[in-house]
Structure 1
């Protein structure tokens, strides 16, 4: 009986060895070939530990000359992403407040700024309430203000639930930020401000594998990124004549004149007329006519 069991065992071992050889031939492995990993991305042990059980978040900071926003990717525990979108939005804003960790990027949130209250989500709009330092400690300047506003907007709109951002300071809505941008409005995403150069990827040397938003949401945001600034930057063309929500400020006009100016340049009518222009040349002509009308009004 024992001899029979030994014979059966030996036969099974021989059959297993033969089956293994057939598998090697099936998958294209010869006698001197070895199986290799399919991925070409190699992470160090330290990097692997860093991103284990973590999820990426996408943050936007200013480049060195405040002309573009550049992406920095950071990683947070996966457990944080399973909580509410409000909670995740607060994590993103607090990471922006900490400033960039990648060389060549500049902070966009003024020093001392904090979230005054929890971020609220109403529909697809995130309402962010900052402390007074957000404005008081800001250096001002058109480019700097733009980077500050849209670093928050573009970072938060990476979340699929958020398409626009509204700002409050000390719980109140303000008509303007530092004199260059209307502030009591909802800001849509601006893809034109995002640098198309190679993206920094934070503290690990791997590409971002985070899920992107669906195409329809991206399309809605891209349509909000049409820039209508005139070649002569010294002449402001009024509030909301571009996706930057620029503020028209002219101290030479009294309250009544300012109100009349705003009524004669209704934002929605202007935008509708602008959108009807089918090509770039027609749009440029329309922009030039608008600027000439505006200058004549001031004279």
Structure 2
């Protein structure tokens, strides 16, 4: 009789341990991660990136939509431009956005020195690249002008390259730049 009572007690103990609350709480963790995923999707913003596109006679800026996070959407928009098919073709490899600072209505976008590694390009490609950056940033409320910096400098030289010459055609002499609607397709 004692053996049966001990055996039944062991079976009950095993069942209690097997059905403990830790197994019941696992669905709460799943619900929380699903809720976090839903919040991450809600925090995504749609921005327009102005990507240069060659036509028969010229280069125009084609607006395309990209999703970016809610943090520093201006920086993420320029990063999306650099990572676009056009960006990979025209902007020098390893170009990164170091920072974007907005003061009054002026956005100061600071690039790594890699942006000065002149690609094989024409004046129209250089102009399109500059205005792709400018038009992408001026879509945001509170930005009407853009100045480009390289390693924190607007003028002078970085690694022996003149910042204002940019890629050698159009240059950055007339900064700050304003939005150019005429280039938008």
Task: Name the residue aligned to 1:120.
Answer: 101
Counterpart-to-counterpart distance in 2, 1:175 and 1:91: 25
Q: Deviations 1:228-285 (Å, cap 9, x if unpaired)?
A: xxxxxxxxxxxxxxxxxxxxxxxxxxxxxxxxxxxxxxxxxxxxxxxxxxxxxxxxxx
Specify whether residues 182 and 76 from structure 1 end up closer, same or farther in structure 2 by C-alpha distance, changes over 3 A only.
Answer: closer
TM-fit CA distance, 1:155 = 0.4
Structure 2 residue runs without a partner (length 5+): 1-37, 155-162
Task: Name the residue aligned to 1:68.
Answer: 60
Structure 1 residue runs without a partner (length 5+): 1-48, 101-105, 196-299
Is the Cα–Cα contact under 8 Å of residues 119 and 129 in structure 1 kept in the other structure?
Answer: yes
Counterpart-to-counterpart distance in 1, 2:129 and 2:113: 14
Counterpart-to-counterpart distance in 2, 1:149 and 1:94: 14
Matches within 5 A, 1:261-280: none
Is the Cα–Cα contact under 8 Å of residues 61 and 184 in structure 2 kept in the other structure?
Answer: yes
TM-fit CA distance, 1:156 = 0.5
Is the Cα–Cα contact under 8 Å of residues 130 and 169 in structure 1 kept in the other structure?
Answer: yes
Counterpart-to-counterpart distance in 2, 1:110 and 1:125: 25
Per the alignment, in what secondary structure is the counterpart of residue 99 of structure 2?
Answer: coil
Is the Cα–Cα contact under 8 Å of residues 53 and 61 in structure 2 kept in the other structure?
Answer: yes
Task: Name the residue aligned to 2:178.
Answer: 188
Counterpart-to-counterpart distance in 2, 1:63 and 1:177: 20
Counterpart-to-counterpart distance in 1, 2:148 and 2:184: 21
Per the alignment, in what secondary structure is the counterpart of residue 63 of structure 2?
Answer: strand
TM-fit CA distance, 1:181 = 1.9
Task: Name the residue aligned to 1:37.
Answer: none
TM-fit CA distance, 1:89 = 1.1
Is the Cα–Cα contact under 8 Å of residues 118 and 167 in structure 2 kept in the other structure?
Answer: no
Matched, 1:93 2:98: no
Is the Cα–Cα contact under 8 Å of residues 62 and 68 in structure 1 kept in the other structure?
Answer: yes
Is the Cα–Cα contact under 8 Å of residues 99 and 109 in structure 1 kept in the other structure?
Answer: no
TM-fit CA distance, 1:137 = 4.1
Task: Name the residue aligned to 2:168.
Answer: 179
Instruction: State the TM-score, normalizing by the size of structure 2.
Output: 0.65
